[in-house]
Amino acid sequence: MKLRSALWLFLNAIMIAKVKPINFPKSYTCQLSSSLTGLPFYTPRECCGPRWISYNKTSLEMALSSKLFGQHLASPIILKTVTRHMENPNSETPLVLSLHGLTGTGKSFVSRLIAESIYHNGMRSKFVHLFITTEHFPHKAHLETYKDQLKQWVKGNVSECPSSMFIFDEMDKMQTDLIDSIKPYLDYHGTIDGVSYGQAIFIFLSNSGGMEIAKKALDFWKTGRKREEINLMDLEKDLTLSVFNNEKNGLWRSSVISEKLVDFYVPFLPLEHKHLVQCGLAEMAARGMKPDQGVVERMAKEYSFFPDEERIFSNQGCKMVSKRLDFYL
């Protein structure tokens, strides 16, 4: 037994000695040295490298087509901009997206899909940073403190991992001027204090502009045109102006907008009854259940819709579908 154990250790040492370490940049890997061989090995701890961060275009494309409903404008914009950014290793500026629409139209959901297509751990990745205005920046009196903290947080995390993602939810509730504190990181400066932000992604989520988007969709419905005929040009100018001129929005008169640092303002259309049904069927399939049209139809009818007379668009979008569905099963 002793001879067999000694032989096993000897052969194992030879095999380890022949293994060549992966040539990742040192600052982006989590390496420990073996006390036996002195060679590095890689821990299961999440690191800023290809093992944990690798963009999957096919995954994002399939998720957008099969899980996001009623958003013929948002889906292609998201896919094209994320793909172009992720496939450009020499990007000099970060990707900056501003997602706008009413509650439940899919803004947060799309952010999650993007994260899942890039990071092995999706939204749980330590390189994905979610800021919720009412939770992280609740006190108006602390604005200057929040500015300093936000700048340091972004700089520190991009220093650790250039491919970091920052999601700012409830931009319509954020204090004005706060987001401008990170404006230098969104602009082209090559590097700032030795840190490059070109591989980072910034996503702003806001309900602002949602009513303008809904009004345009209603105008199309009233004139007998399909919502799929709405194009980005129909919405982009009005959406940008409504966000920039809305005093209750975190981007009000922001230099981030005036200096054109947002790559795309992505409109999310209000959802109709048929989209709630699609959401419900997708939820049943995700649970491993056989989709039941009748069950989902009953659930969708219980949602409230606007305008009061026409009852075209859901007030809550697909929000709460998962919880509401339980009552009809």
DSSP 129-178: EEEEHHHHS--GGGHHHHHHHHHHHHHHHHHH-TT-EEEEE-GGGSPTTT
Annotated binding site: 101-108
SS3 279: helix
Where do the CATH 3.40.50.300 domains begin and end in the chain?
Answer: 57-268
Alpha carbons 199 and 225: distance in angstroms, whole number: 40
Q: What sections of the chain are H helices per DSSP?
A: 2-18, 57-67, 74-86, 107-118, 133-136, 143-160, 183-186, 210-222, 232-244, 255-258, 273-286, 293-301, 321-325
Residue 285 CA, distance from chain mean position: 23
pLDDT of residue 69: 98
**CATH, domain 57-268, list 1.20.58.1880, 3.40.50.11540, 2.60.210.10, 3.40.50.300:** 3.40.50.300
Alpha carbons 32 and 53: distance in angstroms, whole number: 20
pLDDT of residue 176: 80
Residue 235 CA, distance from chain mean position: 22
Annotated binding site for ATP: 101-108
Tell me the CB-side half-sphere exposure of residue 28, using CA atoms within 13 A.
Answer: 16
pLDDT of residue 101: 96
pLDDT of residue 294: 95
SS3 206: strand
pLDDT of residue 56: 98
Strands 264-268 vs 128-132: parallel, antiparallel or unpaired: unpaired
SS3 205: strand
pLDDT of residue 238: 79
Those residues of the chain that have pLDDT short of 70 are 1-43, 246-250, 252-253
DSSP 181: G
3-class SS string, 71-109: CCCHHHHHHHHHHHHHCCCCCCCCEEEEEEECCCCCHHH
Return the amino acid letter for 109.
F
Alpha carbons 51 and 306: distance in angstroms, whole number: 47
